[in-house]
Amino acid sequence: MKKVLVIGSGGREHAIVDALSRSPQVGKIFCAPGNAGIAAQAECVAIKDTDVESLKNFALENGIDLAVVGPEVSLAAGVVDVFKAAGLRIFGPSKAAATIEASKDFAKQLMAKYDIPTAAFETFEDYDAAVEYVKKGSFPVVLKYDGLAAGKGVVIPETFEEAVETLKDMLLDDKFGKGKVVVEEFLTGPEFSFMCFVDGLDVYPMTLSQDHKRAYEGDKGPNTGGMGAYSPVPIITDEDLEFSLEHVMKPTAAAMVAEGCPFTGVLYGGLMKTPQGPKVIEFNCRFGDPETEVVLPRLETDIYDVFSAVADHTPMPELKWTEEVTMGFVMASKGYPGDYAKGFAIRGTERVESKIYHMGTAMKEGELVTAGGRVMIVVASAPTLQEAQAKAREDISKIECDNLFHRTDIGNKAFK
Ligand code: AMP
Ligand code: GLY
């Protein structure tokens, strides 16, 4: 029986642990650092997801057969390189390949060089030059901080004055960190998340999902890590999917090989179906969160075999997906994605029939409490998205907590 180490502590990692626990080959799952929900299905280990040396030592000392990396921060810290150098098997991209997410500018330059459809853009380090450029353009305009910002580094000002404020925050005051800004053309159309298992030139598509990035109902409010998702996405046709695979995902995998940083792991295409066809909004170098929580419950293939095929560069088993569809509603701490308080008791989860993946929870004096911005996701499965939505709504109403909010309109975009 195999021993697996999952790195990370959110809903995505909970869904990965859950999928691994369905594999008949997997005997023991560790999760570093994990959370209160993951602790029911895996042994949590108190090592930070960026402490790659300690993670490697843990894997060596405990005879780990395979490590699976969730968060981008671990990948950007070089966890895959460190594990491989120690002769350990690990699923995820190298630090060099993870740059496709860690630097928006790298991703945009790659797309420009290899003719991968994306919004027109320009990158700036200089505040005055950025202001001049924005002044000449149209609004809204898209401003992206060129570094990891947990889904919060994108601002879409409606006016020149707002744009100047944001550029000040990003380039003069370093409010997001020290980094460049990508100024992008504003595109319109429905968004969808296209995650693929990638091993160099080989690209194996997963079923589609759609995230809900804005904090409040009707896609209002600030961008978040994601407030809910569902899978599959009926508004995306087979032609859209084919185009996205052939003109985006496969050429991007090939571009990474050509650039000397072949990608192994999950390449996440955040795409928009514009009037001119699908275009790339962003690439991520890992499973999406909350997309993973609605996609992996639909995977029928043994996920240990899938991870192994990528990690070992061996043939991929056929990816099979359930007919049942999924819909997930995120419960977040009031104030998120801004400041929020923690430590509020969460009750009623035992009455919920759907799956619950914990995103930011902890145990305090024997009680489940909030411990993050996004706290948990309730994922309902049903024959149709309408039924899944109704079930998720009913289940989420059973959870009691004084400091949580959620969007009730997750999935409505599927019914338009
Ligand atoms: P990102 O972190 O790059 O995915 O951006 C976060 C969100 O901002 C996306 O999910 C979109 O909703 C929005 N966004 C980013 N880039 C654009 C763009 N060029 N045009 C319109 N909306 C965008
Ligand atoms: N849900 C978007 C992301 O994982 O970046």
Smallest CA separation from ligand 2 atom 4, residue: 288
pLDDT in the model for residue 223 = 85
Q: Is 284 in the pocket of ligand 2 (CB under 6 A)?
A: yes
Closest approach atom of ligand 1 to CA 153: 2
Q: Is 289 in the pocket of ligand 2 (CB under 6 A)?
A: yes
Neighbours of 55 (CB within 10 A): 27
- Do 333 and 404 form a contact (C-beta atoms < 8 A)? yes
Q: Is 138 exposed, middle or buried (0-12, 13-18, 19+ CB in 10 A)?
A: exposed
Smallest CA separation from ligand 2 atom 5, residue: 288
- Do 68 and 307 form a contact (C-beta atoms < 8 A)? yes
> Residue 322 and residue 11: Cα distance in Å, rounded?
21
Instruction: Give the model confidence (pLDDT) of 158-217 as tens digits.
Output: 999 999 999 999 999 888 888 889 999 999 999 999 999 999 999 999 999 999 999 999
pLDDT in the model for residue 310 = 98
Beta-bridged to residue 368, according to DSSP, are 363
Residues lining ligand 1, CB < 6 A?
119, 142, 144, 151, 154, 184-187, 191, 213, 223, 270, 281-282
> Residue 325 and residue 100: Cα distance in Å, rounded?
30
Neighbours of 347 (CB within 10 A): 12
pLDDT in the model for residue 102 = 87
Beta-bridged to residue 280, according to DSSP, are 118, 271
Q: Which of 101, 209, 268 to mutate to test the pocket of ligand 2 (most atoms within 8 A of CB)?
A: 268
pLDDT in the model for residue 24 = 98
Total-model pTM: 0.94
Q: Is 366 exposed, middle or buried (0-12, 13-18, 19+ CB in 10 A)?
A: exposed
> Residue 233 and residue 279: Cα distance in Å, rounded?
16
pLDDT in the model for residue 154 = 87
Please tell me the distance between residue 358's alpha carbon and the centre of ligand 1 in angstroms.
26
Q: Which of 192, 211, 223 to mutate to test the pocket of ligand 2 (most atoms within 8 A of CB)?
A: 211
Instruction: Give the model confidence (pLDDT) of 310-357 as tens digits.
Output: 999 999 999 999 999 999 999 999 999 999 999 999 999 999 999 999
Measured in degrees and rounded to the nearest 5, phi and psi for residue 33 equal -90, -10
pLDDT in the model for residue 177 = 81
Task: State the number of CA atoms in the 13 A half-sphere of 109 facing the CB.
Answer: 12
Low-confidence ranges of the chain (pLDDT < 50): none
Neighbours of 76 (CB within 10 A): 19
Ligand nearest to the CA of 10: 2
Q: Is 211 in the pocket of ligand 2 (CB under 6 A)?
A: yes
Reading the block at residue 58, the tokens are 């843990």
